[in-house]
Amino acid sequence: MVLVACGGSSAPSGSAGARVGPALAAAIEAAAQAQAPWRCAAADGPEAKAETLQVGNRAWTIGAHAMALDGSGDIAIGVIADAGGNASALRKLRDGIGAVDLVIALGGMGATQAEVEATLAALAPEKAAVLAVPGDLEPAPAHGAAVAALRAKKLPVVDARLVHRVTVPGADVAVLPGAGAELRLAAGADGCGYREHDVAAAFADLAKKPGLRILASAEAPRATDGDPSGELALVPPEDTVDVVLHGPADAAVSAARTGTRDGAATRLTPGTSDAGPRLPSRRPPTAGVLAITARGWSWRSVGDAP
């Protein structure tokens, strides 16, 4: 059609068309993957390479968009968020978290590769894998480069842009990195985003799981007590999710709780781990621990929460 419009008398030859067709399809696919913000929660996005990650006496099987912990027994997951590049505050919190099988960093860890690398490194030396979930603060290229640098140093850090599902004995975790709208991304077009169909797919997958069903997201679901806040798309359909782990909507940290597989979508946040003065309402840094047993789950806060 282009040739005719330009005065050409015929369509491209078969051989030329055979070359142009695949090239055009590849260009369209590349353009789709390049949409801003980065599609970090997309099911058709980049995947983690297949490997077995040995951490202490635990082995994680990683591949495609999933990681699974081999073995059985009780599980403990440390949860932390919003370090804001302040690695020094994390070391004391890491001691308070204690012996866990996994640490989930729910975003806000730093705005540059150096900040993300330093904060994640402060979490990694203990015998636990670290799942690094980019939030609104992390530029996707800097986040990926920081994780790659830490893995080169043999630290067990996993990039949640590549891993969206975590299976541990008795529970499954769906992971949603980034924000649902670019206007909420401090990193702007370089930030990580999700779309409503990514969230719907995560809920549909969790609903099929036999154990505890957990959503882990950098953003908080919509809350209607007081002024509405949080993301409406992250509110789970009825009886699909038991626990929602999310980054702080404010500086508060969730109090001790217990629960079972009840579909209640109990919201738990570790609060902020930043001891710096950047928040309007400054509070001591906090984190949390989610323990999973055959009987259900329990949550405890870590730090000097008021």
User: Which stretches does DSSP call E strand in the chain?
Assistant: 38-39, 48-55, 58-64, 66-69, 75-80, 102-106, 129-133, 157-159, 165-168, 171-176, 192-193, 212-217, 243-246, 257-259, 266-268, 286-293, 296-303
pLDDT value, residue 187 = 83
Phi/psi of residue 128, nearest 5 degrees: -150, 145
Percent of the chain surpassing pLDDT 90: 63
CATH class of 32-303: alpha beta
**SS3 category, 99:** coil
Q: What percent of the chain has pLDDT over 70?
A: 82
Domain coordinates in residue numbering, the chain: 32-303
Integer Cα distance of 100 and 128 in angstroms: 6
Q: Which residues of the chain have pLDDT under 50?
A: 1-34, 306
CA distances to 16, 117, 152 from 92, rounded to whole Å, are 64, 17, 25
Q: pTM for the complete prediction? A: 0.85
Check if the beta carbon of residue 138 is closer than 8 Å to that of residue 167. Answer: no
